Structure 1
Amino acid sequence: MDLNPPPSLRLPDSEAARRDADIVARLEQGDGAAAFERLVARYEGKVHRLCMALLRDEAQARDAAQDVFLRVWRALGTYDHRSAALSTWLYAIARNRCLSLLARRDPDHASLSVPEVWAEAEALAAPPDIVGEGPAALLARLVDALPVAYRSCLTLFYYEDRSVAEVAQMLGLPDGTVKTHLHRARKLLLAEFQRRGLDEPGLWL
C-alpha cells in the first residue's frame, strides 16, 4: 500500500517539515531505528489524542495509536520527505486507521467530509452542569461532547497549533470545510458558555 499522499497534498517546505528535519536526516542516513525512536517520542501523545478525538474510546484509541506506529515502522522506508511533511504523513495514517474503525462501528457516520452527518450538532445537548466546575474544565467537557468532525478540527487547530491547511491535510478535508467546522464548533461552544452566564467566554475560546 502506498502511504505517501498524492501531489495535491504536498507541503515540502512547511513549518511542519522543518520541525522534523532531524528525523528525516536520520532516515536519509539509513538510521531508521533512531528516526523511529524520535518519531514515537515526539508524536506518541499527539497521535493518541487524535485517535481519541476521532474514536472517543480510550481502549480503542490506545490500540489504534499502537497500530498506527506499527504501520509507520513497516512503511518508514517508503516515506518520501519531498512528498509531504513527516507529521502530515503520520497523521494521514492515523486518520485513515481511525476512519476504518469508525466505518466498522457505524458506516453512515464514518466520513468526516459529509456535512449532513453533523447537522444535529446545531442543537448540542451538553451534560448537566457540575457544581463548582471552572470554565477551562467546562470547555474541555464541551469540546469532548462535540461531533467527531468538529472536535477533530478543534483539537488539531487549537491544541496542536496546526494551521487550517495542515488540519485539512491531516483529516483529508478541503480547507473550506475545516474553516466551516471550526466556525460552527466555536459558535456552539460560545453559546454554551453564554447559556451558563460566563461574562467573557471569549477568554476561553
Structure 2
Amino acid sequence: MLERIAAGDSSAVNECVDRYGNLLWSLARRYLRNTSDAEDAVQDVFIEIWRSCARFDPGVASETTFISTIARRRFIDRLRQSGRTPAMDSLDDEEGAPVDPGVAATVEDDTEVAIVARVLADMDPEHRKILGMSLYEGYSHSEIAEQLGIPLGTVKTRVRRGLIHIREQLQIAVGDTAGESPE
C-alpha cells in the first residue's frame, strides 16, 4: 500500500487511513491524553507518512512497523515541543505501557529500524508476538495477558526484557554504549 501511495494512488491513501487510523488514534491517545492534541498529531502522522512513503522498504520493516515508528517519533516530538513528558503508564503499572518511549525515540532512521526488525526476527516467536502486540499493535499488558491466556507478570517481564534487549542492540549498533546501562 505504501508503494501505491508513493506512486500517487489516492485510493491507497484512503486505504491507509482506514487500515491504520484506529491504531494511530490509540497510540496518540496513550501518548498525549488530550483529544485535540491527539487529533492534530494523527493528522500530522498521515502527512508524514505521505511524505515519507517513498523511503519505505518492505525488506527492512513491515508497513505497520514503518507507520508506527513515524507515529511514535511525531508524538514524542509534539510532547517535547510542549515541554511535557509522555502520558503513558509506567511499565510497572498494571495496564502497562504499549511502548517504551526511550526505545521509540531512539529509532531515528532506516538503519535503526532495520536493527529493531532484525532483533525482533531473532527473538523466540512467543516473545516476538508479545512485544509486537505491545509495540506495534498498541495493546496494553493486561490486554495481551487476556488475549494470550498468560499471567500479567509474564507479559510485563517479556516486554521489559525485549525492550532492554532492543535498546542494548541499538546502543551497540550506533556505538553509544559509553557509560549507559539499560534500566
Tell me the TM-score normalized by structure 1. Answer: 0.45
Larger relative contact order, structure 1 or 2 (CA cutoff 8 Å, min sep 6): 1
State the structure with more CA Rg: 1
